[in-house]
Copies of this chain bind each other. A is one copy, B any other.
Amino acid sequence: MTDSLRIIPLGGLGEVGKNMTVFELGDERIVVDAGLAFPRDEHFGVDLVLPDFSYLVGRPVRAIVLTHAHEDHVGGLPYVLREVDVDEVIGTRLTLALVKSKLDEHGLAAVTALTEAEPGSAPIELGPFRIEFIRMAHSIPDAAAVVIETSAGRVLHTGDWKLDHTPVDGLKTDVGALAALGNLGVDLLLGDSTNAERPGMTGSERLVGEAFRQLIPLRTGRIVVASFASNIHRVQQAAEVAIANGRKVAVVGRSMRKNMNISRSLGYVDLPDEMIVSPKEAMDLPPGEVLILCTGSQGEPMSALSRIAQRNHSFVHITPGDTVILASSLIPGNENAVFKVINGLIRLGANVVHKGNANVHVSGHASAGELLYAYNIVKPRNVLPVHGEYRHMKANAELARSTGVENVVIAEDGVVVDLVDGVASIAGKVDCGYVFVDGSNIGDITESDLKDRRILGEEGFISVIVVVDSVTGKVSSGPEIHARGFAEDDSTFDEIKKPICEALDRAVAEGNTDSYQLQQTVRRVVGRWVSNTHRRRPMIIPVVIEA
């Protein structure tokens, strides 16, 4: 009997990316990444979106192998570790340091076995799986691809990567290791699709440093640089250019401070202590002698930069002549929030520099040219595009095919792909939806709750309370009508009270005394009235109480 390696993507394929892929050989399994996604408009008020890992509950996992420490790859870990039997978590040094801090916050650090593994070090045996890391350049240090050797074939999961020839830390994507692996023979490549639609090559992170070197020396006011806190090389480059130009550096925003502390203590960032000042100290320095690093480049309403733009930050204030650099991407869906922040900053007199008017951002993901290059050196027999919306996976699939890859499988979340005899093919599907985190509730919010929230958020509600005599069935109190989000005033509902009572009397006279039926009667009367009179469809909550 031939061995079969089963691959199940549980998240990451679709419009809300949160990467997690199961690799299974018989009843043995490992998982690559355990990400989360940030909610979108259609997720009305939920805090986080997790991959649906219910498939793993009751199915022990040898290891969760992490490619890098971005939230969409590690953010789901605390939730997964609480529900799933996982022997250990494996990752590179910085990845584990950042993950450990996260697990600490969830009270899980002490009970989780974290195993450090460096690219190029000895393979790790995990039952029938043997894994190795290959260094990849990305927008966070210490990112890696994962090689999985099994009796059913050799798999390369690229993680998130690009082909940066001049990374800030000098640690390039290990093209030699990829080529060697290609020469050994790769049966299946799972590859980052994010930029597959983008022609050419993605620029080096060092280009952003070059932009800083052009921008920062010319400025005389304060400089604020906003970036993702995890883009440690970008933050480092801004700080280095600032220091070289006689500016001290302050760090603002919780995640920025945390990541800087971890990166500096592990030696990933080297900045002299005496050049780092507190935000308060920074504001006491002459404006031309300070650079402030902060979070909020996506316009997040509670972030440091949003509060600065609203003149609402405890320490940092913008004065005319200051410069704000948004050294960041503009994630679709965030544009209006970001433009609002930019408008606020410009109103305060700041010059705002962003990727629209300077080269202050490069992507962390391989463009089409780099993907073609990877297919040509790895020469995989099968390709499974991951990490992207359908359009990205489709574009990635076309690129793979154009280099001669025999078999490309597009599998959305929950689709089961089996690798047998060197051929990957779809073998089934497991249940796989979204798991919503809202407050302390995990997975309790359903699509039906979101539908209710949509109606409530767009239309508001009208509640109608009627007390009926439990003996006669006659209305003894009410109807009392409350509405919220409906543009109501006290008298709006006066005209509908009598029709409600009459309808209830009729219903009772016809023998319908069941309170569910009476509630439906109220709903019908009020629904018809509000639709005809106000052309609206608020949620109607009829309550009939017997007393």
Contacts and interface: CB of A to CB of B under 8 A. Distances in A.
A333 B331 CA distance: 11
A391 B463 contact: no
A311 interface: no
A277 interface: no
A391 B352 contact: yes
Nearest to A477: B547
A272 interface: no
B336 A332 contact: yes
A282 to B, nearest CB: 26
A459 interface: yes
A264 B335 CA distance: 37
A535 interface: yes
A545 B478 contact: yes
Number of copies: 2
A446 B487 contact: yes
Contact of A343 (B15, B446, B541): B15
Interface core residue of A438, A439, A543 (most chain B CB under 10 Å): A439
Given A485-B44, A543-B482, A390 B441 contact: no
Contacts of A461: 456, 461, 484
| A interface secondary structure, majority | mixed
B456 A547 contact: no
A347 B390 contact: yes
A342 interface: yes
Given A343-B389, A394-B346, A440-B535, A452 B336 contact: no
Interface of A: 15, 40-41, 44-45, 197, 332-333, 335-336, 339-340, 342-343, 346-347, 352, 356-357, 389-391, 394, 438-441, 444-446, 449-450, 452-454, 456-461, 463, 465, 467, 476-478, 480, 482, 484-487, 533-536, 539, 541, 543, 545-547
Give me the 9 closest cross-chain CB pairs, A-B, nearest first.
A457-B457, A45-B458, A332-B335, A439-B535, A456-B456, A444-B487, A439-B536, A453-B485, A343-B390
